[in-house]
Copies of this chain bind each other. A is one copy, B any other.
């Protein structure tokens, strides 16, 4: 049997000792678990960003991986904590919308509310359920515990709605959802929405004061310093400066509109 993989996605910041505490709890219960950090740089309490990371990354992992996601502004309130089986992956997360995008891609085949304290730490703080509830539950699951032991099944999980890109008769209206380390703008416009426009000569991408004609296939379709639009590696339209930083040049923010016309 391969070693079980447990991933961590949080808004605790890189190098946070909160993350290290979670790892200690997991390894105490299952020293054979392989721990992988997805990211700890989700902006504080930014559920949408966390949902996007989970959607981009978790489907790349081995079947039966256990993903623990802690972006949890409601910790200490009555919000539920869920186990969900979605596709071939397992998720443990507060029921606050973090699973919206992965659950949109494929409906959960099993959803359970964590209520059985047998699988939590003996002492549960009011401010750090990631360490006291989610980490030990992940460890027990990695040891082979059947999720039905964790609590009662539920039908629903909370799905957030965010302003999302939509296709009109003669335009697509989307927005910037994040930036990567190169300063590339990631939008919420998908390759599916674009369809044949990907190879059309007449397509124009509007972003702030800028207009870009055509969608290129690689960053190298145009000369260095020019702003290009292309479909990035996660299937979303991106805007990039060839060998430069588009975030700085375009002075856009998360939420800035990106419009496609043709």
Contacts and interface: CB of A to CB of B under 8 A. Distances in A.
Chain A contact-residue range equals 35 or more
Contacts of A45: 182, 243
Contact of A24 (B60, B75, B230): B60
Contacts of A76: 217-220
A87 interface: no
Contacts of A220: 74, 76-77
A14 B28 CA distance: 25
Count chain B CB atoms within 10 A of each CB in A11, A57, A230 and give the residue with the most.
A57
B20 A41 contact: no
Contact of A41 (B14, B28, B131, B230): B14
Contacts of A2: 31-32
A139 to B, nearest CB: 11
Contacts of A245: 44
A161 interface: no
A232 interface: yes
A219 B75 contact: yes
B24 A39 contact: no
Interface stretch (A98-106, A121-129, A149-157, A206-214): A121-129
A82 to B, nearest CB: 19
Interface of A: 2-3, 5, 7, 11-18, 20-21, 23-25, 27-28, 31-32, 34-41, 44-45, 53, 56-62, 65, 73-77, 125-128, 131-132, 180-183, 217-220, 230, 232-233, 243, 245
